[in-house]
Amino acid sequence: MTASPTALTTVLLDVDTGIDDALAIFTAALSNEIDLVGCTVVWGNVDVQQGARNTAAVLQLAGHGDVPIAIGAAGPRGGAEAVFSPQVHGADGLGGCADTAHVPVLSRGRSAGAAGSPESAVELMLRLSHEHAGVLEIVAVGPLTNLAAALDVDPTLPERIRQVTVMGGAALAQGNVSETAEANIWHDPEAAQVVFDAPWELTMVGLDVTMTSLITDEHRARLAAGGAVGRFSSEILDFYLDFYEQYTGERASGNHDALALAVATGLVKTTLSPIVDVTVDCSEGPTRGRTVTTLEGEWGQWPERDGARHRVVMEVEPGFEERMVDLLASAHPEV
């Protein structure tokens, strides 16, 4: 589905499978350019068990029921109570459609380690980092609790990862859970800080760019006219677009998680992505969860900063949503 050819990219998706996560999983599973080697599930949009069931259902619908799934953190790093987002994604995370996807029962994840017992998200992440050392791209599209936990267990993890791409944060854009904070970072700022501090290449795909990469009602209608994946995507998007309509006045949603995947894998090219420093506001005040970004200078003219490590995507070339919708609408997987 690329505009220009890219090499096959090996991807581990860390998901909290709600509606836009589902679109990212479909895209990863169905793109010829991507080798999806695992999904680790984290709490966030829904509780982690429901997120895992949703992930399994989506992979199965895409004809990729063999992709390993492992269950991770059930709540924030510091032990605070988990707060979910039923108003955005529905109580089941899939806009009330989880049942129609015949969500399988998944109690402990189904990825089996060498000993045959179910692996945790951290175990799967570490195993895949060894099996695909140097080429594995981690694309994290939920709260960063699982990644921070993996770094606790094995601080050498970054040596084996090609890049981490995070859907989260807002550099100059307004937040979506508070004036300044984006949901994935706000859910677990302490975990996010650990992940931003770790010595790996990290790309942040935040609201600055995901809210310019829109899925519209016209896209939804095209999906509805497609195959099983397209029809299911259209049904879950109906709920998501209703939410966005209340929030922005338009039936158009940010294509958050799939855009992060697309940036990581070259399915879309970035046109403005300065390398700067990002820190996370972990205070208990009104700016908790804000990504504080050293974007100095005039808009679009950020100077290179010595020692800066975080690539913050501000603009991408247009057209990815069209290609994504075509891919999902035309999918006819053998289930």
Work out the number of other CB atoms within 10 angstroms of the CB of residue 47: 15
Contact call for residue 18 and ligand BDR (CB under 6 A): yes
By a kind-dependent CB cut-off of 5 to 8 A, residue 169 interacts, out of Ca ion, ligand BDR, none, with none
Contact call for residue 142 and Ca ion (CB under 5 A): yes
The residue from 30, 98, 121, 141 that contacts Ca ion (CB under 5 A) is 141
Contact call for residue 21 and Ca ion (CB under 5 A): yes
- The alpha carbon of 203 is separated from its chain's Cα centroid by a whole number of angstroms, namely 12
Amino acid occupying residue 310: H
Looking at the DSSP bridge assignments, the partners of residue 34 are: 9
Q: At what angle do helices 228-248 and 217-224 cross, to 10 degrees?
A: 160
- 123 vs 257 by CB, closer to Ca ion: 257
**CA 228 to CA 248: how far, in whole Å?**
29
By a kind-dependent CB cut-off of 5 to 8 A, residue 170 interacts, out of ligand BDR, Ca ion, none, with none
Which span (33-41, 115-123, 130-138, 179-187) binds ligand BDR, by CB under 6 A?
Answer: 179-187
Least distance to Ca ion, CB of residue 115, Å: 31
Least distance to ligand BDR, CB of residue 166, Å: 10
Per the structure block, which two tokens stand in for 226?
A: 């497609």
By a kind-dependent CB cut-off of 5 to 8 A, residue 176 interacts, out of ligand BDR, Ca ion, none, with ligand BDR
Contact call for residue 143 and ligand BDR (CB under 6 A): no
Residues belonging to the chain = 335
Amino acid occupying residue 106: L
Least distance to ligand BDR, CB of residue 327, Å: 19
State the DSSP string of 269-308.
Answer: -EEE--EE-EEE--SSSTTTTPEEE---SSTT-PPP-TT-
Question: Which backbone phi and psi does 239 adopt, to 5 degrees?
Answer: -65, -45
Which span (58-66, 90-98, 176-184, 324-332) binds ligand BDR, by CB under 6 A?
Answer: 176-184
State the DSSP string of 101-153.
Answer: GTPPP-SS---B-TTSSBPBHHHHHHHHHHHTTTTEEEEE-S-THHHHHHHHH
- 120 vs 255 by CB, closer to Ca ion: 255
By a kind-dependent CB cut-off of 5 to 8 A, residue 132 interacts, out of Ca ion, ligand BDR, none, with none
16 in active site: yes
The residue from 6, 49, 85, 212 that contacts ligand BDR (CB under 6 A) is 85
Which span (190-198, 253-261, 264-272, 283-291) binds Ca ion, by CB under 5 A?
Answer: 253-261
Question: Which backbone phi and psi does 138 adopt, to 5 degrees?
Answer: -95, 125
By a kind-dependent CB cut-off of 5 to 8 A, residue 85 interacts, out of Ca ion, ligand BDR, none, with ligand BDR
Contact call for residue 45 and ligand BDR (CB under 6 A): yes
**CA 195 to CA 185: how far, in whole Å?**
11
Work out the number of other CB atoms within 10 angstroms of the CB of residue 118: 17
Query: What is the set of active-site residues?
Result: 16, 256
Q: Which residues bind ligand BDR (CB under 6 A)?
A: 18, 20-21, 45, 85, 88, 141-142, 167, 176, 182-184, 256-257
